[in-house]
Structure 1
Amino acid sequence: MENQIIDAHIHLDMYDEPDRNMLLKELKHHHVAALIAVSYHLQSAKMNLEFSRIDKRIKPAFGYHPEQELPSDRMLEEIILFMHRHQQEMVAIGEVGLPYYLRQEKPSIPVEPYMEVLELFIQQAVKLDKPIVLHAVYEDAPIVCDLLEKYSVKKAHFHWFKGDPQTVERMQQNGYYISITPDVLYEKEIQRLVKRYPLANMMVETDGPWTFTGPFTGEKTDPKMIHQSIRKIAELKGLDKEDVYHRLYENTIEFYRLLTV
């Protein structure tokens, strides 16, 4: 039997409808067992919930992506109410975090209000006993670690993580998970991270429809790319490919408590 994979982080609602339909149609052919469909805002969360009701392979996470304007108080209340109302269908809170790239473009944007929003989502993760999916890179990552430690959160998934060695060590000690994108095939920074981070706390993702370069230049991002990522991870770690497939699959099942895949 061909090795099964799970895309641990994809923005399914952001694909054009024809591309999304084709992607879903081909999942079985490419041995993709499930998709963790993260949300960008409330409308995104509503779409992902509907997708999950039509196709059980889609596992929705609800949140508010930080690389945009802050939500109004009312919008934040509506998102949290939506999470509580649909907590049985929600596998995680996410994507949430801090606006690193937005602040690179507009350095005058203060980080503190975003920290307050993130802390609110962390509180909800504790209250609802759900994993949390984080957008937190470089110097933002230690700030997020502080907040997670404040609430003793263990089930934290830093997607497409990039950061300094000290933060990597801290995340390992706390048992946080990371997920690796297809840029592991050509990005030295990601390759170094793969070599350093324990396989036991690793997953794989596409962050689709975000596109990649290297061998994927000109291609639409698809979960099937994960097969190449896994082969590269096995090579970098000097491990048996079959063992790496199995470990990454089981990690994702366990982390997200997936009962049906």
Structure 2
Amino acid sequence: MKMIDAHIHLDQYQNKEIELMLKGSNSIEALLSVSFDLESCKRNLQLSRKYQKVKPAFGFHPEQKLLTEDELNRLIEWMLQHRTEMMAVGEVGLPYYLRRDQQVSSLQYGQYIEQLETFMEMAKKWDKPIVLHAVYDDAPIVCDLLEKHSVSKAHFHWFKGDEKTVMRMIENGYYISVTPEIVYKEKIQKLVHTYPLEQIMVETDGPWPFEGPFSGNMTHPDMMKKSISMIAKIKNLSETEASERLLENTKTFYII
């Protein structure tokens, strides 16, 4: 079973963990390693130069303090310089959890939206996919922005949202990826039942930890085998067929 982890924060693992992960599993064909900030971008670039399987995405995770204008300009300039080695713009999006916890004001939220639009404009200009952190109430807003900027190659990772938004995403051709949470969370199983297989990928979002059968274990791409098994069951396919189609989806989307 060959697999691609469509969303992992590889730079947040220890060097020894990364080496074991990449050399210890024959099933991992590639890892799409997303970035948290400029330093994260730099480390992911280094990892991609060291390991052929690592495919880096550069961006700024929204669940943190806004970048200043100077910081954003520095990040954009760095991304511009390294765009030929960049698989995608990401991880970018909107701060749902910060806003839920009342750590983001309405004014600041507007600034997060402006920042996200900047990243969308870059993705469009450079013809790169965009990797999105956009869940629940933020998802329809992000769909509006994608449509506004004519960005069609969008990947909503670990998506959670309402049925109306799900149907809109399907119609627009946006992709989703599911984490090992699908093994024990009914809402994710329902999402996969609804979403077309050809627009689905698998991910770990590692090193984020998981519960259920994964409780207490370091998050590893091999966990996706159980995700694929559940997807196969939901879609009434063999595990081999499901894994082959998920692999092809990811290769096609990210041009791997």
TM-score for both structures, normalised by structure 2: 0.97
Question: Mind listing any 5+ residue stretches in structure 2 that lack a counterpart?
Answer: none
Mind listing any 5+ residue stretches in structure 1 that lack a counterpart? none
Task: Determine what percentage of the aligned residue pairs are the same residue.
Answer: 54
Compared with structure 1, are the counterparts of its residues 246 and 71 closer, same or farther at alpha carbon in structure 2 (3 Å cutoff)?
same
Task: State whether residues 203 and 252 of structure 1, in contact with CA within 8 Å, keep that contact through their aligned partners in structure 2.
Answer: yes
Render the CA deviation track for 1:65-97: whole Å, top value 9, x for unaligned.
000000111111111111111111100000000
Determine if the alignment matches structure 1 residue 44 to structure 2 residue 19.
no
In the TM superposition, residue 6 of structure 1 has moved relative to its aligned partner by 0.2
- Choose which of 149, 159, 162 in structure 2 pairs with 1:161: 159
Is the aligned partner of 1:34 residue 2:34?
A: no
Q: Higher mean Cα deviation, 159-168 or 231-240?
A: 231-240
Moved more, 226-235 or 9-18: 9-18
Query: What amino acid maps onto 1:23 in structure 2?
Result: M
Question: Is contact 1:27–1:33 with CA below 8 Å preserved after alignment?
Answer: no
Q: Does 1:202 find its partner at 2:203?
A: no
Q: How does 1:209-248 map to 2 (within 5 A)?
A: 209-248=207-246
Corresponding residue for 2:63? 67
Q: How does 1:16-31 map to 2 (within 5 A)?
A: 16-28=14-26, 31=27
Deviation digits for residues 205-249 of structure 1 (CA, Å, limit 9, x no counterpart): 000000000000001000000111001000011122211111100
Letter in 1 for 2:229: R
- Runs of 4 or more, structure 1, over 4 Å off, are none
Q: Report the Cα distance in structure 1 between the residues aligned to 2:150 and 2:239, rounded to whole angstroms.
A: 34
Q: Give the total of aligned pairs.
A: 254
| Counterpart-to-counterpart distance in 1, 2:194 and 2:16 | 39
- 2:23 is aligned with what amino acid? K
Q: Distance in 2 between matches of 1:190 and 1:51?
A: 31
What CA distance in whole angstroms lies between the structure 2 residues aligned with 1:232 and 1:212? 16
Q: Distance in 1 between the 2:22 and 2:89 partners?
A: 23
Deviation sequence 1:103-144 (CA, Å, 0-9, x none): 122255331110000000000000100000000000100000
2:95 is aligned with what amino acid? P
Aligned partner of 1:102 among 80, 84, 98 = 98
